[in-house]
Amino acid sequence: MLQRTIPIAILSLSGIILMLAYFSPLTTSWGETVLGWFNVLAAVAFVLGAGNLLRVNLERISAQRSGWAYSAITLVSFFAMLAFGLLKLGAVPSEKHPDKHFAGAYEGPTAPYGWMYEYVLSPLTATMFAMLAFYVASAAFRAFRAKNTESILLLGTAFIILIAQTAAGMFLTGWIPQDSVFAFLRFDSMKIAITEYIQTAGMRAITIGIALGVAATSLRLILGVDKSYLSKS
């Protein structure tokens, strides 16, 4: 009983306080207190996330499931970075307190933590992101086909944006005077028309829909109608 009542009470109280804090300056400090709790919980979520990472990967290694070697690499990397960061291994001694190990800096590339960030993490994440270009090119070649009116519209829009996002747009149509009746044929003008009118109009509709959904869901949670976030046990 208490396992369900207390979380619902905390959620309802926090939600009501935050709403009041938005409208009434008298309750601003209450809202700040609740937000302080929220930020502490967000930080604790990192610990939970680390625990979950451990559990999932240890399970995979112990069961020798396919890809277990990747799990082992993940855990070794995780513990290495944790040790370099928490224990400040190899930290550069502080000028003010050279005798105090934990006063040292560990973010620079001369310390193991900074080195791992600069020369392992940064290039790896950038590489992962950069690989998208290759897959997008391959997918565009195979899937972007003008089969019907909708796909022709999509293709036309894609061409305009792809050209307008480079110097080719100005090279091809930049000679058309901006104040002439044909200015709408300039790629930069077409891009603005697509993004600021068509795209924005669609996105506004979606955003308003999402906002209404969020408001409705929040109210259901605050009033205790929706309890799906609680454990069933």
* Interface with other proteins (CB under 8 A): 21-22, 28, 31-32, 35-36, 38-39, 42-43, 45-46, 107, 117, 121-122, 125-126, 128-130, 133-134, 136-138, 140-142, 144-146, 155, 158-159, 162-163, 165-168, 170-171, 174, 188, 192, 195-196, 199-200, 203-204, 207
Q: Which is nearer to other proteins, 62 or 138 (CB)?
A: 138
Least Cβ distance, residue 137 to other proteins (angstroms): 5
Tokens standing for residue 10:
């905390």
Least Cβ distance, residue 42 to other proteins (angstroms): 4
Least Cβ distance, residue 207 to other proteins (angstroms): 6
Q: Which is nearer to other proteins, 62 or 200 (CB)?
A: 200
Least Cβ distance, residue 110 to other proteins (angstroms): 13
Q: Which is nearer to other proteins, 84 or 117 (CB)?
A: 117
Q: How far apart are CA 164 and CA 158, in angstroms?
A: 10
- Residue in 14, 8, 59 with CA at minimum distance from that of residue 40: 14
Q: Contact, 34 vs 11, CB < 8 A?
A: no
CA distances from 93 to 80, 81, 103 (A): 20, 19, 7
* Helix, strand, coil percentages in the chain from 3-state DSSP, rounded to 5: 75, 0, 25
Q: How far apart are CA 225 and CA 216, in angstroms?
A: 11
